[in-house]
Structure 1
Amino acid sequence: MAQVQGAQAEIRQTQVRRAAIASTIGTAIEWYDYFLYGTAAALVFPKLFFPNSDPFIGQLQSFATMFLGFVARPVGAAIFGHYGDRLGRKATLIITLLLMGLSSAAMGILPTYAAIGVWAPVILIVLRILQGIGVGGEWGGSVLMSMEWGHHQRRGLMGSWPQLGVPLGLLFSSLFTSIFIAISGSAFNTWGWRIPFLLSLVMVLIGLFIRLRVMETPHFQEVVQRQKVVKVPVIEAIKSHPKEIILSALVRMAEQAPFYLFITFILSYGSTYMHYNKGFLTNATTVAAVLSLFTVPFAGYLSDRIGRRKMYAIGTVLVLLYAYPYFWMVNTGIAALAFIAIVISLIPHDFLYGPQAALIAENFPSHLRYSGASLGYQLASVIAGGPAPLIATWLMHKYGSSSAISAYIVFNAVVTLIALAFLKGRSEEEIVREYRSAESHLQA
């Protein structure tokens, strides 16, 4: 009997490790594709796909196509949330990985406006929408794959591992962009930008190999065996948990809007208004991403110790306090100060992002968790992440000062603090009982 229990424990630990690795690496690949688009939208797409516009309009058009990917993310959350709660986390995650990778690779061979005219931006928009749908379904499954295999006392830490996909994706997209800016030089706008997109195919093969080796989570196995699968989980989640879905979106505003200003808008702002070198800016975001590899799981770990809500409130206040110093440092024109400003900008964000997965997922029961958590998480893309670079570009054009952008960051932080006060979540006892039930069911 003891040998059987020991073997079961060893198998479980193996699956916990595999789930954490598969979720992290798979998410990193998908976010690599997503961030690569943001970098290209700031640096090359305005000239290649919208060449007939003046620089300001071209930049707006480029960021608008980026925004469409954010609009598509709740659609992806609804589609893959439905299948994730009906068919399982594993199968859904394989489909989202393929969708993202193939869409990005297609961008790498897409002819520009000079070659095929208006069809170039049209096809680019379609591919961006497919990216958005893929990443919209990715987050919920990857987070649940890691959390639902983990121990209930480490929900924050286990939920933070897939969140590492963001800094890893940012790291590789910024790193490869910097490398090919250096290699291709003046030819970057011709062919250099395409190579990082084509590398998506290699990454997809690696991600598929890892994800195929992970078993379905014990929570979903229990849902199936107890016949608790809902016919239309997305509709049921909206009907039974509307408050949690809306508040999950609002609570992300202090994290998501500033994030896309710190890693995407800064590329166009820094090169256009402050005349910093493009490679310098992408190098700074690369170093910021490396730092996040430590601060994201650390924040998730801390949230298991001091509480999810307290950790999240600390991160929100830090974002609020950093809004004005960030642009002040960048605006000095001193490269060293600008570099430091960009590098440390993700620390307040990471204090939010580390515990965020667990904070949101804990609001929903197992049979509706993929749908409910995904919808709440991805709705923030429409109201915060997606419009942020567009709003910042417009504010800068209208007021000619970054102070308006800092005020916009403060506004997002205030909204998050209010939403956090109302997002009470399920009781700790209920969550622990659910975890123990799934563990017992798996052992049986």
Structure 2
Amino acid sequence: MTPVYSLKTLAQLAREAARQMAAASPAAKNRALLALARRLSAEAEALYAANQQDLAAAEAAGLSRAKLDRLRLDGKTLGDLVAGLEQVAGMPDPVGEIEALQVRPNGLQVGRMRVPLGVIGFIYESRPGATVEASALCLKAGNAILLRGGKEAWHSNQALVRLIQASLEEAGLPKEAVQLVPTTDRAAILEMCHLAGLVDLIIPRGGKELIELVQREARMPVLAHAEGVNHLYVDRDADLEMALRLAVNGKVQRPSTCNSLEKVLVHSAIAPAFLPRLHQAMVEARVELRGDERTCALIPARAATAEDWHTEYLDLVLTVKVVDSLEEALAHIARYGSRHTEAICTNNHAHAMRFLREVDASLVLVNASTRLNDGFQLGLGAEIGISTSKLHAYGPMGVRELTTTKFVALGQGQLRE
């Protein structure tokens, strides 16, 4: 008989598991991660079958092409997950590190020890790969995690969590360190948000509506990201061939992701030469172009509305604006950007350095694609999300971002005078 569902009970089990994970050896945690990597490869066909159930249901429900893309598990996705697990296992274990040790005048040694956050509540939509990435990072950082996935990935998530729990048990670690909330009802989100004292941190990963709901309801800290209204500024000193490659890759390579390119700002000095090439490339990639008045005078594009500059499309749509200076580009990004990912294409070192200093975003790039704002691409092994708030974490959240520090003091009998 199926037990009565209780999210509070799961959270209590996670709390106890978190105590054990905080004390787990780096070797045990790494054994669990590598065991999971082996299982993902060995059980690939079973995972594809579970994922096909989800894809079939999603197609029948009329989900968009972008959401179907996020839902799909294939050979490349699985290969990336395996590589990410191996990379995370090979990373230094931050738990127990003592940082900034200093000796006070009375001889007391004071430092900061890196420790796990505790129990993480992870609320996410569609992408089953996030189940593996989030779990792996939490385990490496000595945490426990409660996973509340979307209904679209229900069968995929169940299959993946079974493999994760089996890998934990193989390594001698508590399987309750990773648990899947056994319902996709919206009420479970609210209940998780109200479990202060059992859940230490909530990380929502999904659409704007989900993130705003969690931020409004949570009784514990929330780490979240805003929409990815990401820009590429093509400077007057840009290599136009490079700029074209960056624009196409940022928009086309995987348009359904939060790090895809949504807006291109082009300096007026090179706009007549660059925009026709951009138009041709985007037409070939079936991207709909929207533009300001000056853009539309140079290429066939739909006139952009005021709303377009704020919009994260997550689809094959790109908005283009002609600007007269770096200053105008910086002002536009400050007004419309979402602090997610911003890039400049330029051969002018001074412009590049100014862009890096003045643009407020979780990742600012020079001559590189916005699609690189990703934990795996930046050397974190994986990510549990990209934080666009500045407190605790800013940017992709990897293992270290899932820990905090506490003060520790080593004495020889010192007293306060």
The answer, yes or no, to whether TM exceeds 0.5 is: no
Structure holding more strand per residue: 2
Structure holding more helix per residue: 1
Give the TM-score band, short-chain normalised.
under 0.3
TM-score, scaled relative to structure 1: 0.23
TM-score, scaled relative to structure 2: 0.25
Larger Rg: 2
